[in-house]
């Protein structure tokens, strides 16, 4: 099962965090869940923005599920766009937040992001208490051991949510309906995607 791993990839903390979590998910799932990680698949420094966008959407189209890092007081706009793409394509999704700050416009008991991103079918949410787990694990263990335990613990929680989302019934009522929506999505995005996926 390949999942698209969406999130910020613009600094060393994001790059390394994405990488370590993707490796931990693969290891802890016994190789079942393999990440399609944009930071490994392309050179984000290329000047052609459309090529970067199309490469990311192509990976979404090739995925069986998707994981979205919803950290930050303001969510990464590219991640939000990719989440909406995944919802349109009916991919099982996990919204994952380690940021313990409050954000968004929901009530105190709601999810800590904009309400327009909540309530979708085939979508599981996971809030991981990163600060308390960091303090507990790094006080008890040396850094290499604590780091592995930290990411393995997160990975196990993500895997549980991926499995939950993946077990829910599809939104589209038939394979024909799903394929028609997929073709419409590719046409709507335009760029290089129609040619890449043989849509005329």
pLDDT in tens, 137-194: 999 999 999 999 999 999 999 999 999 999 999 999 999 999 999 999 999 999 999 9
Contacting residues for 15 by C-beta, under 8 A, at least 6 apart: 9, 39
User: How many CB atoms within 10 Å of residue 57?
Assistant: 23
DSSP 8-state secondary structure symbol assigned to residue 169? P
Q: How many domains is the chain partitioned into structurally?
A: 1
Dump pLDDT digits (tens) for 40-57: 876 656 668 898 899 999
Total count of residues recorded for the chain: 200
As a whole number of angstroms, the longest Cα–Cα distance in the chain is 59
In this prediction, residue 45 carries a pLDDT of 62
CATH number at residue 56: 3.40.50.450
d(CA 63, CA 59) in angstroms, rounded, equals 6
| Mean pLDDT confidence for 12-28 | 96
On whether the pTM is more than 0.95, the answer is: no
Q: Give me the domain span that covers residue 75.
A: 2-196
Alpha-carbon distance of 103 to 60, in angstroms, equals: 26
Identify whether the C-beta of residue 35 lies closer than 8 Å to the C-beta of residue 22.
Answer: yes
Q: Is 176 exposed, middle or buried (0-12, 13-18, 19+ CB in 10 A)?
A: exposed
């Amino acid at each position: 099962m390949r999942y698209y791993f969406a999130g910020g990839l613009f600094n060393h903390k994001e790059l390394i965090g994405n990488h370590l979590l993707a490796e931990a998910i693969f290891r802890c799932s016994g190789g079942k869940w393999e990440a399609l990680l944009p930071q490994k698949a392309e050179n984000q420094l290329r000047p052609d923005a459309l090529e970067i966008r199309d490469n990311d959407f192509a990976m979404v189209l090739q995925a069986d599920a998707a994981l979205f890092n919803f950290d930050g007081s303001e969510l990464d706009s590219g991640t939000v766009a990719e989440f909406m793409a995944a919802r349109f394509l009916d991919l099982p999704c996990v919204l994952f937040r380690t940021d313990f700050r409050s954000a968004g416009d929901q009530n105190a008991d709601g999810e800590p992001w904009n309400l327009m991103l909540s309530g979708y079918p085939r979508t599981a949410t996971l809030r991981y208490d990163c600060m308390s787990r960091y303090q507990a694990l790094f006080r008890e263990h040396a850094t290499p051991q604590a780091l592995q335990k930290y990411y393995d613990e997160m990975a196990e929680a993500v895997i549980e949510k991926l499995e939950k989302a993946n077990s829910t019934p599809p939104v589209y009522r038939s394979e024909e309906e799903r394929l028609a929506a997929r073709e419409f999505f590719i046409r709507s995005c335009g760029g290089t995607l129609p040619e890449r996926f043989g849509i005329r």
